[in-house]
Amino acid sequence: MNNLIHILGPTAIGKTALAIKVAQHFNTEIISADSRQFYKEMNIGTAVPSLSELKAAKHHYIQNKSIHQEFSVGDFEKEVIPLIDKLFQDKNPLVMVGGSGLYIKAITDGLDQFPDIDPHIRENLNQRYAEEGLEKLAEELRELDPEYAAKADLQNKQRVIRALEICLGAPQNFSFYRTQNKKERNFKNIKIGLEADRAILYERIEKRVDLMLEMGLLEEARNLYSNRELNALNTVGYKELFAYFDGKWTLDFAIAEIKKNTRRFAKRQLTWFKKDPEIKWFDYTQDSKTIIHYIEQKTLAK
């Protein structure tokens, strides 16, 4: 049986370090499922693995796309499932690491199947976004699909517009089409979650943001500023600095917002993962040997 080991958890918890130790132990390779780390123009603000970490274990889907490319979770599923099948010919188990829950779900269960929607509906929604702002669209989504709106990230323009276009262009709302059957995969999922007390996690987040700034995040964001309308850059760590460059915020306020929004992001990640009963949770300080022993037992289980 092929085994796909998932190293999951909130941002700044130490997933990369553990993934490398696991990959080295099993002499295998790592596939990133972090939707922020796909883009080669984004480095500091996405906390991509360092050169030494990339040398320690072979990684896939780290900075292999451009911010100018449209790359969706559906594209990720279409590209990565064949890659996994290919890698399993020589390596077993494989390691997948990341905190992007929807991208991981696309690999473990497959994406939900939605009907084709008239592209004019999305064009109209994008126009409304430009004229009315995201909150107006989020308000409409709450009315049309309160179930999805209650658990969705309503600050994510792409997800709000995607859900709305289904609500407006399909016979049923977005939530209806999300309750599809899981796809059959030719591998077993072994899911490892890392966690910490909330106060410790938030302290780690604060330190990571400070380190990113020391490493040159401000300059990296300035170099990307002319592309600020691209969806890939509508992410924590960049959008706040763009507001500073626009003269809307002071730098100190922008940095405070990065830390606040990263804490909120980590909370949403935990909320998503805690709903999955298949995840075995370990404290972030747990010795890697203990976690590897657990994984070895799971790979032997039928």
Question: Which domain-ending residue is among 130, 154, 177?
Answer: 177
Of 1 and 27, which is predicted with more confidence?
27
CATH number at residue 155: 1.10.20.140
Angle (nearest 5°) at CA 193 between 49 and 159: 75
Query: What is the C-alpha separation between 219 and 196, in angstroms, rounded?
Result: 31
Which of these three, 177, 203, 220, is where a domain ends?
Answer: 177
Was 14 annotated as part of a binding site? yes
In angstroms, rounded to a whole number, what is the distance separating the alpha carbons of residues 54 and 97? 13
CA distance 20 to 30: 8
Answer whether 37's CB lies under 8 Å from 99's CB.
Answer: no
Instruction: Find out whether 11 is annotated in a ligand binding site.
Output: yes
* Residues 276 and 193 both lie in one domain: yes
Residues 227 and 155 in one domain: no
Please tell me whether residues 148 and 236 are part of one structural domain. Answer: no
Residue 230 clears pLDDT 90, i.e. is over it: yes
Q: Whole domain around residue 160: which residue ranges?
A: 119-177
Q: What is the pLDDT of residues 161-199, one digit of tens each?
A: 999 999 999 988 988 877 666 788 999 999 999 999 999
Q: Is 12 annotated as a binding residue?
A: yes
What are the pLDDT digits (tens) for 61-76? Answer: 999 999 999 899 989 9
pTM of the shown model: 0.84
Q: 217 and 243 share a domain?
A: yes
Is 250 a known ligand-binding residue? no
Domain limit, last residue, from 177, 200, 226? 177
Query: Residues 96, 195: one domain?
Result: yes
Coil vs helix vs strand at 32: strand
Residues 25 and 133 in one domain: no
pLDDT at 302 (0 to 100) = 65
User: Please, are residues 43 and 49 in contact by the beta-carbon 8 Å criterion?
Assistant: no
**Total number of domains constituting the chain:** 2
Q: Specify whether 30 is located in the same domain as 6.
A: yes
**3-class SS at 2?**
strand
